[in-house]
Every structure is written in C-alpha cells, then in structure tokens.
A and B are shown apart, each in its own frame.
Chain A
Amino acid sequence: MYDFAYQKPSSVADAVKALGAEDAKALAGGQTFIPVLKQRLNKPSVVVDLARLGLAGIKVTGEAVVIGAMTTHGAVAASAEIRRAIPALANLASMIGDEAVRHRGTIGGSLANNDPSACYPSAALALGATITTDRRAIKADDFFQGMFTTALEPGEIITSVSFPVPAKAAYMKFKNPASRYAMVGVFVAKGPAGVRVAITGAGQGGVFRHAAFETALSANWSADALAGIATPADGLNSDIHASAEYRAHLIGVMARRAVAAAG
C-alpha cells in the first residue's frame, strides 16, 4: 500500500470533519478496503478509522431491528434477538465470508461499498430498510445506485441501518465457488414494504428487485407461484464461473428455495 495518514476520531462530528480532507477515506472492518490498499488500487491521503465512534450495537423493537454501522457480521449472526425478529438477516450474516471476515467486516462497510456480489444490499432492499447517516435518513430504494455506487455523499458516514420486521423472509445464496461471495443471492420478504424480492450477485448494476417474482408472490406466496417465470439474462453478469444464462436460471432456483424456506 501507499503511505497515508491515519486518524481515529472519537465522535461522528470529528470523523465527518476528518473525512472532509481531499482523498480521505473511512475505514470500518477493512475487509474490502485493506485488500484494495494492498493492491495499490486506492491512494488515500488520510484513513479515518470509524472504530471509536460508538457505532456498534443492535437494538430490536417490535417493529424494527436497528443495527449500528460498525456492528460486525459475526455479531449479527450471533444475536439471539435478531434471530428471533428477522432470522433471515442473522442467517445472511452467518454466510458472509469466513469466521475471520465476519469478525471484522461490518454492515455499514458492506452497504457503503455496495459490491455487486455482497449479501447485505439484498436484505436492505427486500426489507425496505432505512439507512441513517450522520446527516439524513436514506431509503434503501434510493440508496443503491449501481455497482460500487450509493447515494452517500463524499465524507458521509452511515451510522445505523433500520430493518422493518417482516412477516416472512429468507435469504438463499449460491456462493461463487472460488470467492464464496454471492454469485446469485436472493432475499425474499413479505413485510411492511410489501412483497419484495431482491437479487444480488447477478446484476451488472448491482442489487435489483425482481418485479415479475414480486407480482407472482403478491398474488400467491408460494414457491410454485414462481415456476415457469423465466428471468431474462440481459443485464446479468457473465464470468468464468457463471454465464448470464446460468445466473438467470439460478435466480429462479434460489428464489423458489427462499420462498420455501420463508414458509
């Protein structure tokens, strides 16, 4: 990596200020950012560590699960409260990377990064989450704006994410055989935001909602309702592990399995 300055502020306000510097970058769990630095793909002037901002923590009310931005995947996976309120979310977290990655990687980092193969964006979109930052609240619908692109302004810090508790939800992940990120991940939910199906790993533009599946499931919440609805391969990713056609097929398989699992 290239040399950079390092700061570890102890308030969100100070962190925002530090991130005002040109080419300043926030550091959360470092599971994406540090490999990027090691490959010299990014040359920040200053790295602002968010670890001391008090942004880790889980709060569950009757209506929502609110997760602090610096909460690790491991903490989400292990939370008995989340397992009760939205088991699909805990399951999703438990399938991210490996033990070491889950021990460091955070929900805020995952959402801010909006990797097209990341798991959390599908949960946020399907559950109709609200992403709270140092300056505003952003609906998931408005947050994801194409691969590695979000509604965040330069220097804006995610502080927490609020997931409305759904009646039913499940996440099914087809892992990329090599990286084990989502090659196709499908999050289905029936909740306050209606029936939603969000697909990650497959789309060239990152996470997206599957309108045809949503319509079918709104009429009849069952795996069978999805049978026969083909997903077009246009706009899907193609790489050495999966063609766009194969991904289109897997979207159907994973969606049916997710609906079956959601009950």
Chain B
Amino acid sequence: MNAPFEGIGASVRRKEDLRFISGGGHYTDDINRPGQLHAYFRRSDRPHAKIVSIDTAGAAACPGVVAVYTAADLAAIGGVPCGWQIHSKDGSPMAEPKHPVLAEGKVRHVGDPIAVVVAGTRQQAKDAAEKLDIVLEDLPSVSSVTDAVAPGAPRVHDDVAGNICYDWHIGDKEGVDAAFAKAAKVVSLDLLNNRLIPNAMEPRAAVGDFDPMSGEYTLYTTSQNPHVIRLLMGAFVLQIPEHKLRVVAPDVGGGFGSKIYHYAEEAMVTWAAGKLKRPVKWTAERSESFMSDAHGRDHASTAQMALDAEGKFLALRVSTLANMGGYLSTFAPAVPTYLYATLLAGVYTTPVIYCEVKAVFTNTVPVDAYRGAGRPEATYLLERLVDTICHDTGLDRVAIRRKNFIAPDAFPYQTPVALQYDSGNYIATLDAAMKAADWAGFPARRAAAKARGKLRGIGMSTYLEACGIAPSKLVGQLGARAGLYEVANVRVHPTGSVTVFTGTHSHGQGHETTFAQLVSDQLGIPVSQIDVVHGDTAKIPFGMGTYGSRSLAVGGSAMVKAMDKIIAKGKKIAAHLMEASVDDIEFKDGKFSVTGTDKSRTLGEIALTAYVPHNYPIETLEPGLDETAFYDPMNFTFPGGCHVCEVEVDQDTGITSVVNFVAVDDVGRVINPMIVEGQVQGGVAQGIGQALLENAAYDAEGQLLSGSFMDYTMPRADDLPNITVGTESTLCTHNPLGAKGCGEVGAIGSPPAVINAVIDALKDFGVRHLDMPASPQKLWAIIQSNRPRMAAE
C-alpha cells in the first residue's frame, strides 16, 4: 500500500481541527486550579481623570472577597515594560512614561484598570467591585493624533511635552527635496489608516499559580509568545527569575497580534497568587476586550510622490502621525517606524525616500501590532498614492505599476530605506492576478452593472511586506530589546516517533500540521508519528513566539537545522551498525543506507540503537537522538504579490458589495497549500473588514463609541465574496526552506485594492480619495455631494 504523500506541498487536513471544532480544545479559561480565586478589574469609564480617592472598605467587606488591590499595594513591582526603543531625530530616546499595572494617580483611557477585587467566585468579585468607592476628577482629554499634537492640547502624561513619544525619521531628506525641485509632477495625498479592534474569538484570560514549597510561579495565559511574557513579566515587573517562573499558553483562540504583548492582568494575577498563596484567575468579558486589548493601525499621513514626465517615480516624501494610545504597549514603537517606513519603497524603484514619523500619546487604548503591523499602513499609503497619481495624471493604473516595478533580475535589491530584498517577481504575480480576475473583461462587466443601475469598480494593489522577523543583529540596531531568532528541539523517541518542541506558538495557524509535514518530509516518517508541542516554557528550551509571519520562515528553519543534526548523528550510528564509513551513508525517505549497497537501517532502528546503545560507538558519540537548534536568520523575508478587487456600489443606499477578490501572492515555499489558502483568505477577510466595515470610533474626548459588536462592524461571511487565492512563488534565498510567510499578506495587500476599486466605481463622481471604512453612510454622502456638480457640468 502506498502511504499518502504528506510532505512539503501536500494539503494535509489540519490535525488540530478535530479538537477545535468539536469542543475539545483546552484554552486558558478551561484551566481551573485547586483553591482558585477569581479576579475582577474595575476599569476607568473616563478617558482622562485624576484619581482623587479610592475607598476599598465597602468592597473588602463583601461576601467571598479575599483581597482588594490598588496601585498603593503595588509599590514594590515595576510597570509594564516596552520591548522596543526608538530614538528621535535629535538622538534623544523616546518618551517612555511608566505604564503601571494599576492606574497610579490618573487614568488615561477608558478601560484603564484602577483596582482589582479577588474573591471566591467571579460573581462575588464583580459584585464587590461595584462597591469600590472611586472618586475621579475629569481632566481635559484628547483622542485623535491631529488633536493631540495641536498647540495647547491636553497632556496625556504630564512630563511628555506635546504628547510626542518620539519624532523619528528615515531616508534622505535633502535628496528627496532635490528630486522634488526637479520633478515634472508632484502628487500629494492626505490619508487616514483607521483604528481597528482585533477581536480574537477567545477573549484574553490568565491564571496565576504559586507553589510556596518550590517558590515556583506558573502563569497560564492567552499568549502568542510565552517565553517573551516570562522574560518581560519576570525580569521587569515582578522580579521573578526565569527558573522560578513557568508560562503556559495552551490552545489560544486567535491573536492577530493582540496576544503578543505583556498585559497588566497577567502580572496582576501572578503577583496576587504569590501574595495570597492561592491560584487567581481572570477572564476578560467581551466588553473588556474592546477597551483593553491593544488596538491596531490609527495613522494620519501625508504622502507626496515626485514623478518625471513619463510617470517614473523620482522621490517619495511621507509624514505620519501614529497613535500610541495612553501608554506604550510592548512593540508599539516599532510598528510605525521599522515595520512601516522601511516598507515605503514597496515593489517600486523609487530612488530616494524620506519619511518622518511622530508617535503620539492620546487618551485611548494602547495601539500595537495587529495582523500586518505597519506594513498594511505602508501598503495602503503607497497603493492609494499610485492610484491617486493615475487619477491626477490620467496615467494607466497597470502601466504605471509595471513601469516602476523592481525588475525580476534586480535582486538582491537595496532600497533607500534600509531593507535589502532577496527575491521576488512582481510582474509574475501581477499577470497571474489580472488573468484570474479577468481584468481585461472588466469594461463589459461595468457596462452590464450600469444597465442594472449599479456602479462597478475594479482596483488592485501590488505590494510587498517584510516578515519572518528577523535577524537579531538587525533588530537590535533598530531598537529591539530582544533577539529574534527561533528555537526547535527535535526529539526522536526510542521507537522512532518524534516530538518537536517549537518556540513559535500556534493560535489558529495550523502549526501542528505544517510543522509535522515538514518533519515528515525531512525524516521520512508519517505525520501521525509526529507531534508538535508549543506554548510551555517548561517544555520548550526557548523561543520568541509567533507574529510577523515568522513561524515557518524562522521557526521552521530552526526545525530543519535541528533535523540536520539528527540526520548527521544518525549517519554516525548507521555507519557503526553497518560497518561503513560515515561518508558513504546517505539518508533518504526515512532510511540510512550505505551507498551502492542494499544495506540500510530505518530511522526507528537507529533511534532504538541510540537509546539502547549496546552496540554503539560510545567512545565518540553520546547516546540519545534529541537535538536542539537556535536559528537566527540573515535577513527578513519579503512576500509580496498582487490583489485585485471588484466591487459594486448601490448608489441609492451607498452599500458596497465585494463581488470578486483575487489574491496572488509570493509566499516562498509552500508546505501546505490548503493552509496557505486559509491564511490568505482570513487575512483578506480582515482587510475587507478594515476597508469597508471596521472602525474603532472614539469621540473627540476619548469615549469609545464602538465598544461592542452592536456598534463595531466585524466582517461576517455574507460581507465577503469567494476569495480566489493563487501563489506565484520565488524562494527566499537565505533560509533553508525558501519560505517567506503567509500569515499577514492577506491583511496587508487587500485594503488598498478594495478602496481603489470603490474609487474606480465612483469614477464619474470625481472622487479622488476617501478614508476607510467605505461605509454606506460615507459613500452616500459622497454620492450626494457630487451629484449636483455632475448635473451642473
């Protein structure tokens, strides 16, 4: 019987899905420790206020209450740290005001935790929290970046002048000025990148536990990177050494970035467990998620492109205000700088670029990386600017892109904004996407729609992103306070089955399958014989977690390195058993054989020998078959591609329907095409969500107006078209797999394709730009205000 092919390139069904879809997952909220208590956080309902007084007596006297804590109790512990430091233009370090675990003296956003009640049950804790007597005195507040940098704006932090966290820049200012002076044409565009609320299906949760006998703490938490949480919380907040702190991130129901960061609630339950010597659990209610999970995006930018007479890009100038919210979240400073401005060359040969970025504090929930992180903002700006150039000049949208593409033979390509692209072929993805979307047939479809009274539009984005973050040396230069390698431990058991321990973390991505396929491919054993373990600092040597589409490119590469070591050792054992020279042993399809003979041993036989080393080269080789590798890549990886969107707008109501969406991406080596398709589709769903539906709405003072699903428009199945996904891959040149990453491409490439299509649909109305989301109300207003002008013409 032929075993089904399960190696690289096979669409193996996801091993984890049976447990996820049958209620068998084991999430943080499923964890209940003996003697467990429950925490409830009382949060600010004001955007900015002085804490005049907190009287806890009423709460403390409630049934079941074990403890009530406020900032006054936490004097001995640190604030929530920031993991990335940016320096301003003038060399000064960014403003890094303390982010206390519980608010100290002031609250700075709706949702800021003020006090925590710990009680026997959740209900008791919540009942008692209502009895906290908290007197707040409102302070002037500000929610938008433009308001926050205006002269005389209220200060979010007393010691941060102008609310400026940093004023950073990259690129060649003089070179750009010179190019603009000589340009035949300059096109400018002001644009907003709307704030989003991640809304993972599983809300955040944390259980802190403490063993007084061993002095060991355990934190179970909804995290994308348990080792990073251990480091941040242990070293900076609670001063618990690593060997006394275990962090477990079991099944996690979606993260999209929002579960990368170290949050105050994690520190709080861990600290309280130590104090009370009893486990303490907290699970967010959905409304808490809206006001305490880090939000995403929220940029206001001006972009200008200088062009020659033929439409060749000569120089790009960008100025961006990025909202940080009330405090700095873990990676927040990196997002609008090294994950954004370095991407502004995109897929184009623009020779000089200058970008300045001001990061701004406001009275809103902290903003951090959300699926794509910085790269969607860069892509949106660039791809909207390219279409606006065509709008202003009459140049063709496809021709101008082709004219400015980095050619397929130009790699490695050094951009003017730090990055060096290793590989890509933007013409190939463009051609494939246009073909799949029948771009050529669009005029007929537009005419047919017009006959039905609908406005039809088509749009594209040709984009690139940098992921697989990344080389430690590079990110260190850029301000990261950590390394960004990955770790794999491949353990071949005595009878030949394999457990792989990875420092990456799966929260929906299907790692248990993809990684098993990778191991199956390399070691020649069936997927059923391989388990992938992640999410526990007690089991996994180390790891930096999952974000930035890094798991396969970096974590998978570490696995390959560890397997190389397994194979190298296996060859030595095989050579001994078969009395041959190591150089004559080859490993293929799970068998070690002596070249040119029919002598061979299976991996299982070699493993058994390694663990039962009766006949073994013990003088020169240790027993066992268990290898670990740390892999630190040479560069980022650079996925890219072309997304084409087609929409129909109903002029009577302003409703936009996405009628077709095609994504053709270069994600490098594809291990499981079905999983790649799912990842891209999920990303596109979020991108369409950002473009048409989602918006974290604050009023000018910082009240969250979209604090529930009644007001925050999550994309639903019927908002989405069938999404056609294709791949046109070039291989990454510097990692052993050639993999680039596919987790974020959908969310990065799609929003400008959607908005470009909407604007194309409104072509006859003279619309040059509109900000996301393109809601029915917004489109209706545009159609209304442009109608009279049309009639007058």
Contact = CB atoms under 8 A, between A and B. Distances in A.
Interface of A: 2, 39-40, 174, 177-179, 239-243, 246, 249-250, 253
B50 to A, nearest CB: 26
A240 B652 contact: no
Contacts of A39: 287
B781 A178 contact: no
B652 A178 contact: no
A119 to B, nearest CB: 16
A179 B711 contact: yes
Closest 9 CB pairs of A and B: A178-B713, A179-B710, A177-B713, A253-B652, A240-B697, A246-B777, A178-B711, A242-B777, A240-B705
B781 A246 contact: yes
Interface in B252-306: 287
A202 to B, nearest CB: 13
A249 B780 contact: yes
29 contacts: A39-B287, A174-B653, A177-B693, A177-B713, A177-B775, A177-B776, A178-B710, A178-B711, A178-B712, A178-B713, A178-B714, A179-B709, A179-B710, A179-B711, A239-B711, A240-B697, A240-B705, A240-B706, A241-B711, A242-B777, A246-B654, A246-B777, A246-B780, A246-B781, A249-B780, A249-B784, A250-B653, A253-B652, A253-B653
A99 to B, nearest CB: 12
Contacts of A246: 654, 777, 780-781
Contacts of A250: 653
Nearest to A39: B287
B106 to A, nearest CB: 26
Contacts of B695: 240
Which secondary structure dominates chain B's binding surface? Answer: loop
Which secondary structure dominates chain A's binding surface? Answer: loop
A194 to B, nearest CB: 27
B748 to A, nearest CB: 24
Contacts of A179: 709-711
Given A174-B653, A177-B693, A253-B652, A241 B709 contact: no
A190 to B, nearest CB: 23
A241 B693 CA distance: 10
Contacts, number: 38
A201 to B, nearest CB: 13
A241 B697 CA distance: 10
Contacts of A177: 693, 713, 775-776
Contacts of A243: 777
Contacts of B712: 178
Interface string B652-693: 111000000000000000000000000000000000000001
Contacts of A239: 711
A119 B693 CA distance: 23
Interface string B565-588: 000000000000000000000000
A2 B780 CA distance: 44
Contacts of B287: 39
Contact of A241 (B130, B777, B781): B777
B709 A178 contact: yes
A188 B775 CA distance: 27
A10 to B, nearest CB: 30
B781 A240 contact: no
A190 B254 CA distance: 51
Interface string B759-793: 00000000000000001110011001000000000
Contacts of B127: 2
A104 to B, nearest CB: 18
Given A241-B775, A242-B777, 4 more contacts: A177-B775, A178-B713, A239-B711, A240-B697
Contacts of A253: 652-653
Nearest to B285: A38
